[in-house]
């Protein structure tokens, strides 16, 4: 009788360890993505413009993802859950269906790639013109944008908790931007950061739809290739296309490996095995670690007022993601 008891104890332990392990994996992925701001700045110091760093992030990652998807096999799978957890397909906000045209798979991939390219253009400009913490937090307002878009499109009033999250996020964003009023370049950078959230929200909705037709790796590979093609003319026109030193290639490789390959894939794996509440908390590690990296490596500090704004903004994002 002792063996079944031991087996039950082991099974119970594994069930408890599994979510904790997946949560730690999610935190690791978020910490990798948090390095984007610092790497873009370092690449800029090596002579690479913000558009070019966005292009190289996609171009260097695309072949790796394409080979990985080919080795994994299966470019198509049946309807799957694009959110976290398992079971039926989820909408970005429960009970509020996203209105979206019945596009083909190719159109959804093209749309997602174009929106991702637009997000990267504005996000990288925000990183260069504003602070890393501001641009990253502002870009992470995408869930708030989705809620506002659903509210406008469906005329369905969000739950009171969501409304509270929206107000908190907006108030936090104003506190973060406040010190930059009167500083034209920084204010323009904040505008780019906020604009990137619009594109990233559209990208998330497009991928959520495309995920019903494509497996994760093939979809990521296709979107990455498409984004690289969309970014190429901007990067070439910018004029700061090539790094001035071998060290510049190291920063660009870091962007491709840490952000586009490891960070995205690790997060995609982890959120599939976590509840929405846990995933919402874990995904906030990206803007937090981004601010920490910028403080430790670039000397960027948040004022007490901006720190309060960051907490409000993170709280609003958390509520919207849940």
Q: What's the average model confidence in pLDDT over 246-273? A: 83
Q: What is the pLDDT at residue 95? A: 43
Is the per-residue pLDDT at 124 higher than 70?
yes
241 contacts 235 by C-beta, under 8 angstroms: yes
Residue 65 belongs to a domain: yes
What's residue 100's pLDDT?
60
Give the pTM: 0.79
pLDDT value, residue 233: 96
Rounded to the nearest integer, the mean pLDDT of the chain is 78
Of residues 286 and 248, more confidently modeled: 248
Mean pLDDT of 284-289: 82
Residue 1: band (very low, low, confident or very high) from pLDDT cuts 50, 70, 90: very low
> Is the model's pLDDT at 101 over the cut of 70?
no
Please give the structure tokens belonging to residue 236: 């070439």
* 129 phi and psi angles, rounded to 5 deg: -90, -30
Structural domain includes residue 90: no
User: Cα-flanking dihedrals φ and ψ of residue 93, to 5°?
Assistant: -130, 125
Element (H, E) at 227: helix 216-238
Express each pLDDT in 15-74 by its tens digit: 554 567 777 887 888 888 889 999 999 999 999 999 999 999 999 999 999 998 888 775
Res 196: pLDDT: 92
* Confidence band for 322, pLDDT divided at 50, 70 and 90: low
Mean pLDDT of the region 73-77: 53
Q: Which domain holds residue 291?
A: 22-75+104-321
Q: Vertex 118, ends 96 and 102: CA angle to 5°?
A: 40
> Do the domain assignments include residue 181?
yes
Would you say 59 and 314 are in contact if contact means Cβ atoms under 8 Å apart? no
What per-residue confidence (pLDDT) applies to 318?
74
| 16: in domain | no
Total structural domains within the chain: 1
Residue 90 pLDDT grade (very low, low, confident, very high; cuts 50, 70, 90): very low
Q: Could you tell me if residue 13 is inside a domain?
A: no
Angle of helix 2-33 relative to helix 285-298, nearest 10 degrees, comes to: 50
Regarding predicted confidence, which is higher, 97 or 193? 193
* Contact assessment for residue 206 and residue 115, using Cβ atoms and an 8 Å cutoff: yes
**Cα 129 from Cα 177, distance rounded (Å):** 13
Is 17 contained in some domain? Answer: no
Q: Give the tens place of pLDDT for each residue, 140-172.
A: 887 777 777 777 777 777 677 777 777 777 777
pLDDT over 60 (residue 11): no
Q: What percent of the chain clears pLDDT 90, i.e. is strictly above it?
A: 29
Mean pLDDT calculated for residue range 266-276: 68
For residue 166, the model assigns a pLDDT of 73
Of 165, 94, 203, nearest in space to 318 by CA: 165
Q: Are 99 and 154 in contact (CB under 8 A)?
A: yes
Segment 277-283 mean pLDDT: 65
- Compute the distance between CA of residue 205 and CA of residue 96 in angstroms, rounded to an integer: 13
pLDDT at 179: 66
222 pLDDT above the threshold of 80: yes
In a domain, 44, yes or no: yes
Q: Is 239 left (phi over 0), alpha (psi -120 to 50) or beta?
A: left
Q: Assess if residue 85 is contained within a domain.
A: no
């Amino acid at each position: 009788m002792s063996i079944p008891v031991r087996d039950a104890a082991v099974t119970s332990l594994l069930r408890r360890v599994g979510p904790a392990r997946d949560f730690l994996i999610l935190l690791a992925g978020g910490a990798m993505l948090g390095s984007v701001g610092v790497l873009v700045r370092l690449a800029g110091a090596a002579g690479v413009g913000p558009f070019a760093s966005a292009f190289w992030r996609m171009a260097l990652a695309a072949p790796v993802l394409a080979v990985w998807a080919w080795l994994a096999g299966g470019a198509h799978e049946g309807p799957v859950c694009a959110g976290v957890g398992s079971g039926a397909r989820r909408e970005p906000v429960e009970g509020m269906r996203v209105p979206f045209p019945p596009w083909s798979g190719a159109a959804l991939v093209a749309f997602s790639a174009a929106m991702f390219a637009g997000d990267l253009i504005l996000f990288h400009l925000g990183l260069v013109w504003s602070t890393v913490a501001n641009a990253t937090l502002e870009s992470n307002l995408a869930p708030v944008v989705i809620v506002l878009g659903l509210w406008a499109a469906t005329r369905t009033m969000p739950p009171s908790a969501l409304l509270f999250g929206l107000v908190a996020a907006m108030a936090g964003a104003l506190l973060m931007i406040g010190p930059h009023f009167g500083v034209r370049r920084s204010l323009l950078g904040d505008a780019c950061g906020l604009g990137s959230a619009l594109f990233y929200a559209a990208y998330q909705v497009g991928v959520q739809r495309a995920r019903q037709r494509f497996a994760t790796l093939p979809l990521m590979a296709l979107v990455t290739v498409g984004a690289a093609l969309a970014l190429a003319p901007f990067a070439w026109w910018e004029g700061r296309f090539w790094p001035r030193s071998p060290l510049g290639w190291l920063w660009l490789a870091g962007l491709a490996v840490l952000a586009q390959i490891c960070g995205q894939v690790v997060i995609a794996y982890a959120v599939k095995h976590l509840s929405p509440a846990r995933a919402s908390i874990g995904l906030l590690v990206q803007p937090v670690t981004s601010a920490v990296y910028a403080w430790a490596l670039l000397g960027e500090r948040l004022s007490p007022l901006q720190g309060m704004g960051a907490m409000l903004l993170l709280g609003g994002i958390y509520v919207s993601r849940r």
